[in-house]
Amino acid sequence: MELKEKDVLVVGMGKSGLAAVQLLCEHGARVEACDNRPLEQLKEAASVLAACNVRFTIQSAASFRGRDLIVVSPGVPADLPELKEAQAGGTLVIGELELASWFLQGPVIGITGSNGKTTTTAMTGHVLKACGIPCQVGGNIGTPPTSLVQSSRPGQWNVLELSSFQLETIRRFRAQIGVVTNVTPDHLDRHHTLEAYAAAKARLFENQTAEDYAVLNADDPICLRYAATVRGKTLWFSSSKPVTPGLWFDGENIRLGGEHVIAARDFPLRGRHNLENAMAAAAAAHLAGAPVAAITAALKCFPGVEHRLEFVRAVRGVSYYNDSKATNVDATLKALEAFPGGVWIILGGKDKNSDYRPLREPLQAKAKAALLIGKAAPIIAEHLGNAVRQIPCGDLASAVEIAARDAEPGDVVLLAPACASFDQFESFEHRGRVFKQLVGALKE
């Protein structure tokens, strides 16, 4: 679509929306911005919009009428009635990812999944850079896709972490290598059903050709369903059985077919789920041209990702781990798998219509207590029943204080909330930073 002199509305003034505004202005569009919050509450928006000479309005039904194009940020529900009305009237509605794809140069590695996509994205970028393969990393991991357009170039890989919110509004976006780590219930407050959520993830493969690749988890039932419909070639990974073609974990080593990639003892991250992430990243990097020996060397020195099973410090023999990015039940289950027992787990935040009952058995086996915080605390308490000792804490500071008081040497205090953060924090990153500050302030 030619953007010059087109009347474009950008909805949502977070990082993605502001990046979209800037790209649209660079291409000569007449841009207006809206959000359901007043401009005084939007920290960065005022200066960016002023610099671009873009008018801001509070979001209303009138905002959506008479536009040539509407670009929505990932946080804006795609089924918003105003968007449906605009589409029915002939207005093109796309997301920020789709807008970026119109101008992004170079091939794309798109990585999605309910859990592990951030770690896998960061690891893929780390491996490619270590192998001397040109790439840039962004998407849901921090840098909006539209912000990558200017630095993109032919022959350079764009490694993008992609959420279901980003994928549900694509039209022509294409990933030459598409990776799905797993699909488990998440964001049901937005997508309503697991089927709708899985369908949004599946759009990653919608525009692939026979020359493209799908990297899929052979242990995940929904990924197995995806394989029946992808147009490209499939490369598998599995932590439970040999797969062909693909990578698998034999109990001690990751292998690519019959070739050794890395021993579990040489990989720096804890947990079987991180071995799965390593296989997904190694698969994507190998398809992008990285040789196995170089992948091995890069995996051995991967530093990990902040807020993802991140060791904070040990105080009086108690180890503190920040897994603030565990924003759903499956992620919390994976975090628990990394520890043999003695866990004081901090759970709670903003509920996403989740079922917390799958946590009962592992908490009964491994946890000394569940420290409950945030708005979801009563729901979690009801779902857990008497499976584990429950301590209502209200907020994160109280949870850390109680855990520090009662935990014994050898125990683990784990922030793995199984919830979104938006009831008490700006983001999971904000929640993780506050946790680290609280732990940092504990006295030996």
pLDDT in tens, 330-351: 999 999 999 999 999 999 999 9
The position carrying tokens 């020195």 is 301
Mean pLDDT, residues 361-380 = 98
Is residue 25 predicted with pLDDT exceeding 80? yes
Spatial contact of 254 and 247, defined as CB atoms under 8 Å apart: yes
Name the active-site residue from 115, 126, 140, 325: 140
Cα–Cα distances (Å) from 76 to 38, 40, 262, in that order, read 16, 20, 41
Find how far residue 311's CA is from the centre of its chain. 20
Cα–Cα distances (Å) from 433 to 321, 386, 418, in that order, read 12, 31, 17
What pLDDT was estimated at residue 258?
83
Query: Which residues are within 8 A (CB) of 429 and not within 5 positions of it... i.e. 6 or more apart?
Result: 306, 307, 324
DSSP SS3 for 140: coil
What pLDDT was estimated at residue 141?
84
What topology is assigned to 310-440 in CATH?
A: Protein-Tyrosine Phosphatase; Chain A (3.90.190)
Is residue 257 predicted with pLDDT exceeding 90? no
Within 310-406, residue ranges assigned H as helices are: 329-337, 360-366, 377-384, 396-406
pLDDT in tens, 45-61: 999 999 999 999 999 99
Cα–Cα distances (Å) from 34 to 7, 12, 39, 70, 98, in that order, read 14, 6, 9, 11, 19
Name the active-site residue from 15, 117, 286, 334: 117
Cα–Cα distances (Å) from 64 to 27, 68, 85, 418, in that order, read 21, 10, 9, 35
DSSP SS3 for 355: coil
pLDDT in tens, 270-313: 889 999 999 999 999 999 999 999 999 999 999 988 998 999 99
What pLDDT was estimated at residue 256?
95
Name the active-site residue from 15, 126, 187, 201: 187
Is residue 317 predicted with pLDDT exceeding 70? yes
Q: Is the dihedral of CA 96, 204, 310, 305 positive or negative?
A: negative
Percentage helix, strand, coil, to 5, in the chain?
35, 25, 40
Mean pLDDT, residues 103-112 = 98
- Rounded to an integer, what distance in angstroms lies between the CA atom of residue 60 and that of residue 34? 8
pLDDT in tens, 143-175: 999 999 999 999 999 999 999 999 999 999 999
253 is catalytic: no
The per-residue pLDDT of the chain, averaged, comes to 95
Listed by start position, the domains of the chain span 7-97, 104-300, 310-440
- Rounded to an integer, what distance in angstroms lies between the CA atom of residue 434 and that of residue 427? 11
- The CATH superfamily of 104-300 is Mur-like, catalytic domain (3.40.1190.10)
What pLDDT was estimated at residue 188?
66
DSSP-derived secondary structure letter, 420: B
Q: Can you give 267-312 as a three-state secondary structure string?
A: CCCCCHHHHHHHHHHHHHHHHCCCCHHHHHHHHHCCCCCCCCCEEE
Mean pLDDT, residues 360-368 = 98
What pLDDT was estimated at residue 307?
93
What topology is assigned to 7-97 in CATH?
A: Rossmann fold (3.40.50)
- Which stretch of 77-86, 246-255, 361-370, 430-439 has the lowest confidence by average pLDDT? 77-86
Burial 234-256 (b: 16+ CB within 10 A, else e): bbbbbbeeebeebbbbeeebbbb
Burial 302-321 (b: 16+ CB within 10 A, else e): bebbebbbbebeebeebbbb
260 is catalytic: no
207 is catalytic: no
Q: What are phi and psi of 205, to 5 degrees?
A: -100, 0
What pLDDT was estimated at residue 370?
98
55: enclosing H helix or E strand? strand 55-58
